[in-house]
Amino acid sequence: MPKPGVYALALYHDENRDGRFDRTGLGLPAEGYGFSNNPATLAGLPQFRSVRLNVPKPGLTSRISMKYP
């Protein structure tokens, strides 16, 4: 369990189980992904300030919405 602090979470769904985050020929995600705070991700990776989580005590939860192409 993480200690109190500031964190950012990034998730991906390795749908084809090849151990990589697959991208299309244009460099766009080809598999599901998500970030803490669920920021808009229209033009690349979100900035840290939009995904950071302040964790003041252990045991808190966060909900992340996965996005699929």
Domain spans of the chain, in order of start:
5-55
Residue 64: Cβ-neighbour burial (10 angstroms; 0-12, 13-18, 19+):
middle
pLDDT 10s digits, 33-56: 999 999 988 778 899 999 999 999
Which pLDDT score, from 0 to 100, does residue 65 have? Answer: 96
Residue with tokens 């766009």: 28
Q: Token pair of 66, please?
A: 């996965």
Which pLDDT score, from 0 to 100, does residue 46 have? Answer: 94
Place 60 in a pLDDT band, splitting at 50, 70 and 90: confident
Lowest-pLDDT range, 5-9, 17-21, 41-45, 64-68? 41-45
